[in-house]
Amino acid sequence: MAMPRRSRRPRTTLLILVLASVTIITLDARGGFHRISSGAKSLSADAFAPVKSGVNDIIEPIGSFLAGSVHYGAVRQQNQKLQQEINQLKQERASQADAEQAMQQLSALLNLPFLPNLQSVPAEVTNYGTSDFAASISISVGRDDGVQLNMPVVGAGGLVGQVVQASHHTATVRLVTDGQSAVGVRYGPAPGSLAVLTGEGSGKPLSADLVPSNTPVTAGEQFVTSGLQGAIYPAGIPVATVVSAKTGSSASQESVELRPAADLAHLRYVSVVLWGPSQ
Amino acid sequence: MTLRDVARVGLVMLAFVAVQQTLMLDLRRGGVHPDIMILLPIVAGIVGGPGRGASMGFWAGLVADLFLPTPFGLSALVGSLIGFGVGAATLALDRSAWWLPPVAALGGSALYELIYAMLGSLLGQPQMLHVQLVRIIVAVSVVNAVLALPALRMVAWALPEASTEGVPTSVVATGGPR
């Protein structure tokens, strides 16, 4: 029996598309195409900001209505009335707690001890990242508010991350826990030793590079940004606190695990520090 | 493809992006959210064959990459491969079978996430293999399997004439399954 022949066209199409993709990835990584892709990303973010806000405004009441309808048929009228009252009270309590939490974060941001002479722009966290493979957040301020690429972003406890994408009204922040994040830090008694903290992924502890073996590092010790010349963060911002430190028998470096100083899992508001490495 | 088809594909893509950037991102559980952009090359592969699956994967991937912090072009590359793969794998199957889209979405999405993480790792993002990959694969695949049928309808509307490209010529000649 003769083997069926397949058209070559789809394979040619695939080959062209794969080559095009690889070219785009390479050009973007080498910087030649980055300005174009960055501009396109910025345009998309600006174009989708009102769509997102509009869809959320539509969906939220529908969701509440559907949730209410599901419960409506399940209980008798009197019980339902009581239930509704309970729900309302719970909702009020929850929203009060929510408002208190937001207020606490905002108040803390107004008085950050580690930013005495630096200007900053407060921002609301609008989303916890668009990719499952990167630790990032979206915030409600952008270039129109003075936000630029690479600016540091801080939360109530300390460093949150760095601006990696800025459109007119929104920005994307790479969190310190992201695998691509590396922060130069100082630790120990003044003037302090230098190390680099790297992210290991969302929700995972940070790890420290360049801490020599048998260095006395204790749990709870704080690592702060080094602020060396040309550093991407100003000096003195708390980055993380030590959770554990141990040295293997033949290791040249100490294995140090740290917890981010800012509560990255519950960020509501952050501040973008209007600072660049030249300052 | 006619201009009308291109406009329809653009409209469907826009709808998918809007849902992904609003509803799907808000459905985050345990740090993981669904990714319905992956569905586009998968169902296009079923509807239009490997060539159209690959093309849809490329363009949908580029659009998705506009909103992602991962390397630009990576989603386009993986989307092309998955769209072609699904189209080629389903050539000999009865494409009107009700179970085909959910099964293809389940397997295609899992494979997509795996290849995406591996290629991302090769491209200097090693953390992509160290994230909660199993959880991501399960969440994305299951949601996409559930949404596969409506997605197929939308893409079938955008690509009304199922392509015979890539179909074994003997099958086309005998009018066999497409």
Phi/psi-derived region of residue A167, left when phi > 0, alpha when psi is between -120 and 50, beta in every other case = beta
A3 pLDDT more than 50? no
Determine, yes or no, domain membership for B171.
no
Residue B140 lies in a domain: yes
The CA distance from A53 to A261, in Å, is 31
Closest-CA residue in chain B for A39? B66
Give the tokens for residue B115.
């290849």
Query: Positive or negative CA dihedral for A41, B134, B44, B25?
Result: negative
Instruction: Report the pLDDT value the prediction gives residue A230, as an integer from 0 to 100.
Output: 75
Nearest to A237 by CA among A228, A225, A229, A227: A225
Give the pLDDT of residue B52. Answer: 93
Average pLDDT (A158-187) is 92
Contact check, Cβ <8 Å, B72/A33? yes
| Residues in B touching A21 (Cβ below 8 Å) | 58, 61, 73-74, 76-77, 80
Please tell me the predicted confidence (pLDDT) of residue B170. Answer: 44
Tens digit of pLDDT for each residue in A4-41?
445 668 889 999 999 999 999 988 887 767 778 888 88
Confidence of residue B159 (pLDDT cuts 50, 70, 90): confident
Residue B72, domain extent? 3-159
Q: Which residues have CB under 8 Å from A47's CB, separation 6+?
A: none
Which pLDDT score is estimated for B165? 52
Task: Name every chain A residue with its beta carbon within 8 A of the beta carbon of B58.
Answer: 17, 20-21
Domain count, chain B: 1
Judge whether B168 lies within some domain. no
Q: Is pLDDT above 70 for B163?
A: no
Query: Per the domain annotation, does B177 fall within a domain?
Result: no
User: Is residue A29 within 8 angstroms of chain B, CB to CB?
Assistant: yes
B168 closest CB neighbour out of A4, A18, A179: A4
CB atoms within 10 A of CB B98: 8
Percent of chain A at pLDDT above 90? 30
A-chain residues near B165 (CB < 8 A): 7, 9-10
- Across the interface, of B132, B164, B168, the residue whose CB is closest to A5 is B168
Provide ipTM, 2 decimals. 0.85
Q: Do B33 and A133 lie within an 8 Å CB cutoff?
A: no
Interface of A with B in 126-185 (CB under 8 A): 127-134, 136, 164-165, 172, 174, 178-180
Domain-embedded: residue B175? no
Going along chain A from its start, the domains and CATH numbers come out as 34-110 (no CATH), 116-279 (2.40.10.340)
- Tell whether A18 is within 8 A of chain B (Cβ): yes
Across A197-206, B1-10, B12-21, B138-147, the highest mean pLDDT is recorded for: B138-147
Q: What is the DSSP letter of B28?
A: -
pLDDT, tens digit (0-9, with 9 covering 90-100), for A193-226: 889 999 988 888 999 888 888 778 888 999 999 8
Q: What is the CATH number of the domain that holds B76?
A: 1.10.1760
Give the pLDDT of residue B172: 43
Encode pLDDT of A36-94 as tens digits: 888 888 888 888 878 777 777 776 666 555 545 545 555 567 777 777 788 888 877 77
Q: Compute the mean pLDDT over every residue in chain B, rounded to the nearest whole number.
A: 87
Of chain B, the percentage scoring pLDDT greater than 90 comes to 63
Q: What local confidence, expressed as pLDDT, does residue B102 receive?
A: 96
- By Cβ distance, the residue of B131, B165, B169 closest to A202 is B131
Question: Is residue B166 a part of any domain in this protein?
Answer: no
Residues of A in contact with B50 (CB under 8 A): 10-11, 13-14
Where would I find the beta strands (DSSP E) of chain A? 120-127, 136-139, 152-154, 159-166, 171-175, 182-187, 193-198, 206-209, 222-225, 238-246, 255-260, 269-273
Mean pLDDT of B158-169: 59
Is B135 a member of any domain?
Answer: yes
Tokens of B68: 């992602």
